Structure 1
């Protein structure tokens, strides 16, 4: 099975994903980990969104290929790719269906002040889920990019509110 973890920055997706992986003996695949390890040292200054997105797409392709192999051999995969857009989630759900792989959506949510506070604290502490600095401007930009789950997605979703946890 492939678990798709969706939510905005600071909601607790990475923490939830790592905990879920441990609970179900699954493999956690995070876009942040891949991007930081493969491209972090080469990140242009100032940041170039086009440069980043080309590499995100490459990582997503490799992560997907790895996820399919794991799932087809009976393993559980937790995809921590953000899944900010409905179109992106639909694409991965469709690809899984084409491969005969079952899926589960998990929507991780928390209130905006909680999420912003977590992200700023993660920047300062460089904690376990820290991969790169997220400026307040970047946080607010990404906030506007997120598309909440649709009615269809909500039918079979695992909803987790992390305002009181994490």
Structure 2
């Protein structure tokens, strides 16, 4: 005999259900009702240079498709922010970025397999990183769509400065001019082949 306990309303009482397996008739395999298959969910990867509006677009897209957005900046800030001290060691930062990426990816795949679309706002500054996620999606047998967000350099600089000052919804940590230049040097724009498979948004 198995017992199952469920909390009652407002956790003030508990109801016990008892089931005796000996009283249940054997199950006929032919009579089992198969649950309907869930629709295939899509993994959306938003990428582009800093200040282009990636996080804004990722959040908007997630709302439009009723999906879940995973952004790497809050993860990095919450998990490793207290350990960061200037000057930043780029290799130290990237090691932790990779850890966050791995955990986010595992969670994103789990969510997508439950039928909910996922939007990834995880940087992917390098073409090799974007290809890596595309290949992992293929291995997981999940649809994958990239979204390239971009605008001119002057606008992006101004946006980053404004974000530092205003600290709105997409603010995670201040980006100094030196950090902006460093990240700008790391960014790899998509080539024609990559652009051909991406949704392109000019902001």
TM range (shorter): over 0.9
In structure 2, distance between residues paired with 1:55 and 1:99: 24
In structure 2, distance between residues paired with 1:137 and 1:46: 10
In structure 2, distance between residues paired with 1:100 and 1:21: 21
| 1:44 positional shift | 2.2
Aligned length: 162
Name the counterpart of 2:97. Answer: 56
Which secondary structure does the structure 1 equivalent of 2:121 belong to? strand
Name the counterpart of 1:41. Answer: 82
Provide the alpha-carbon RMSD of the alignment.
1.0
Question: Of residues 105, 115, 127 in structure 1, which corresponds to 2:146?
Answer: 105
In structure 2, distance between residues paired with 1:137 and 1:55: 20
- Is there any run of 5+ residues in structure 1 with no aligned partner, and where? none
| Structure with max Cα Rg | 2
| 1:126 positional shift | 1.1
Which secondary structure does the structure 2 equivalent of 1:82 belong to? coil
Deviations 1:59-92 (A, max 9, x none): 0000000111111111111000111111000000
Higher relative contact order structure (alpha carbons within 8 Å, sequence separation ≥ 6):
1
In structure 2, distance between residues paired with 1:55 and 1:64: 14
In structure 2, distance between residues paired with 1:146 and 1:137: 15
2:69 matches 1:31 = no
Which secondary structure does the structure 2 equivalent of 1:105 belong to? strand
2:49 matches 1:8 = yes
Which secondary structure does the structure 1 equivalent of 2:200 belong to? strand
- Is there any run of 5+ residues in structure 2 with no aligned partner, and where? 1-41
TM-score scaled to structure 1, two decimals? Answer: 0.94
Which secondary structure does the structure 2 equivalent of 1:159 belong to? strand
In structure 1, distance between residues paired with 2:72 and 2:118: 13
Which secondary structure does the structure 2 equivalent of 1:107 belong to? strand
Name the counterpart of 2:21. Answer: none
| 1:150 positional shift | 2.1
In structure 2, distance between residues paired with 1:47 and 1:141: 11
